[in-house]
Amino acid sequence: MFKKTKVLFKKTTLMNQQQDNSIKYGGMANKSWEGLWQVKKTPWDAGKGVPILKHLVDTIYNKEEYNFIKNVLVPGAGSGYDCEILSTLKHVNKVIGLDISQSAIDHAIKLKEKYTIGNVSKVDFICQDFFGVKEKFDLIFDYTFLCALPIQLRRDWASKMKDLLNKNERSELITLIFPLVKKNEETGEMNDMDRTKGPPYILDFELVNDLLTNEGFENIEHYKVPENLSHPQRANNEILARWILK
């Protein structure tokens, strides 16, 4: 009886956490993020890691001067494709892929069996509220996470990023800012600039810059992502920005 009660308590606790996260983080199409993953309605899933991230790892972060990068975080990791890319960092010890959906985490764990370039032993997927994370990281990669957050959580997002980044003058937050514009549902043209509709919510560099500089971040580089380094369906709709704490 005790064992059954204990198992029931764990299941109930997990359900309560999922319900709390659904209220806090919202979702799309009248479903929570967990609900969307359960029915495999994940239109944001591009099916592979983002090319600009692999480019950054190959041309910048695998240089010896970045050998301090040991712990990496990907919030809103979903299927975890970008975690595989980040696990190719030469000196990394652990890449944490975080998501509030247990179904997303279960899916990401299964996909580890199909890694072709990544180091499976260095990647962990954890179902947890981003704002409850206590660890520190040398590199954080945000892509389709900020744009999915309810607008009222943006300042908290920036504050938490400051809290999570190691107080090393070279530790970095990478934000792949997306989308810059959305498809107009009535005309089908890419000209919808309504920032109140989402998720995903339209972002731009100025908005992210305001959020992060208010928390003591400094932008060290930003540019529009070249077409060949974006997913085809997101070409010309992304800005790469790198940040350090001053």
How high is the pLDDT of residue 133? Answer: 98
How far is Cα 194 from Cα 184, in angstroms, rounded to an integer? 10
How high is the pLDDT of residue 185? Answer: 81
| CB of 192 closer than 8 Å to CB of 182 | yes
pLDDT averaged over consecutive 10-residue blocks of the chain (246 residues)? 44 52 80 95 93 98 97 98 98 98 97 94 97 97 97 98 94 97 84 88 97 98 98 95 96
Query: Before 232, cis peptide (omega within 30)?
Result: no
Question: CA angle 183-185-191, nearest 5°?
Answer: 35
How high is the pLDDT of residue 212? Answer: 98
How high is the pLDDT of residue 186? Answer: 79
Tokens of 117: 């370039």
What's this model's pTM, rounded to 2 decimal places?
0.90
How far is Cα 221 from Cα 244, in angstroms, rounded to an integer? 10
Tokens of 125: 């997927």
In angstroms, the Cα distances linking 147 to 27, 63, 206 are 12, 30, 14
The conformation of residue 19, written as its DSSP 8-state character, comes to H
